[in-house]
Amino acid sequence: MPTEEVCLISERGCVCTPTPTVIKVEYIHSVQRIPITEILIANSSGIFFTEMIWHDFGAGLPEEFDEFVNGSYVIRDKKYLGTEMEYWFIPENNATIILGSKVVDVNGLITLRVEKVSYLKHRLGRC
């Protein structure tokens, strides 16, 4: 019986985890050089943006926010992003994606995809 998983696909390979799961994307902003955290939720319907946290204003950063908490600006929303989305990170972004309990250092083109995976692939940990 197939299961729904979210998979992180990069030039280094593939990491998958069952849905529903939280995806935490942490990186250094390319222009402002400040830490950014994005929180996504993946379930059988797809990937949803839920939160962004940052510590300063400037080029390429939101001008509006929902809360100011412990020195951080926070946007909370629920936006459907689809069943597949991409990020492009350069080495200076020092990016990490936490996919459920799996921590992955990433660079280059990254694809996040929700897909049905066969039971055998799931048990073998293959994407």
Residue-wise pLDDT tens digits, 77-125: 999 999 999 999 999 999 999 998 999 999 999 999 999 876 666 556 5
Query: Average pLDDT of the chain?
Result: 89
First to last CA, the chain: 16
User: CA-to-CA distance for 73 and 56, rounded, in angstroms?
Assistant: 8
| CA atoms of 58 and 20, how far apart (whole Å) | 34
Per the structure, the count of domains in the chain is 1
- 90 or 61: which carries more pLDDT confidence? 90
* Domain carrying residue 40: 3-124
Rounded Cα–Cα distance for residues 61 and 30 (Å): 11
* Mean pLDDT (whole number) for 64-73: 91
Q: According to the model, what pLDDT value does residue 121 have?
A: 62
State the Cα–Cα distance between residues 24 and 97, nearest whole angstrom: 6
Give me the percent of the chain exceeding a pLDDT of 90: 67
Amino acid letter for position 120: L
